[in-house]
Amino acid sequence: MNMFTPTDYAMMSRAILIADHGRAIATPNPFVGCVIVKGGRIIGEGFTRAGGRPHAEADALANCSESPEGATVYVTLEPCATHATSRGPACADLLVAAKVARVVSALHDPFEGVNGQGHARLREAGIALDTGLMAAEVKKQLKAFLARITTGRPYLTLKSPPALMERQR
């Protein structure tokens, strides 16, 4: 049974597209996209900014054209759950405080500071949570981050001279 609607797919596709805006600037954080929808309309969008702050969820909430209370949030990676620091509160806490009704998250974040805690915090607050939408696409998009977090090594792509020579023919 597929629990996702065509709107869910469209909004997650948009979040994936928006995430790419942070590809070159979010390091060392993953580049994440977030779309907030209320009443069938997009009311906020955001992505992970330079140096990893603000995170996509905080950026999207700050850009909302109206109150996000009761809205659905589409985010490409599990919201962080680290305790508030000088760099800002945890994204899961921001979503709880905003009183959103539902969060659709493509991927579980394997980073030790998150690792299921963001999803757990949302569930504890009574926010509906659906995960796994377009996970394959997001895994491909975040392959370098996921490799670094899960293996402790950087993700590298190498081309050998014969492969380059084949392209010149």
Q: The tokens of 23 are what?
A: 């590809």
Q: Using omega within 30 degrees of 0 as the cis cutoff, is the peptide bond preceding 154 cis?
A: no
CB burial readout 48-86, b (16+ within 10 A) else e: bbeebebbbbbbbbeebeeebeebbbbbbbbbbbbeeee
Catalytic residue from among 57, 66, 78, 112: 57
Task: Output the CA–CA distances (angstroms, integers) from residue 65 to 36, 42, 103, 107, 116, in the order listed.
Answer: 10, 9, 18, 27, 30
Q: Burial level of 115, CB count in 10 A (0-12/13-18/19+)? A: middle
Cα–chain-centroid distance for residue 159? 30
57 is catalytic: yes
DSSP 30: P
State in Å, rounded, how far the first CA of the chain is from the last one: 48
Catalytic residue numbers, as ranges: 57
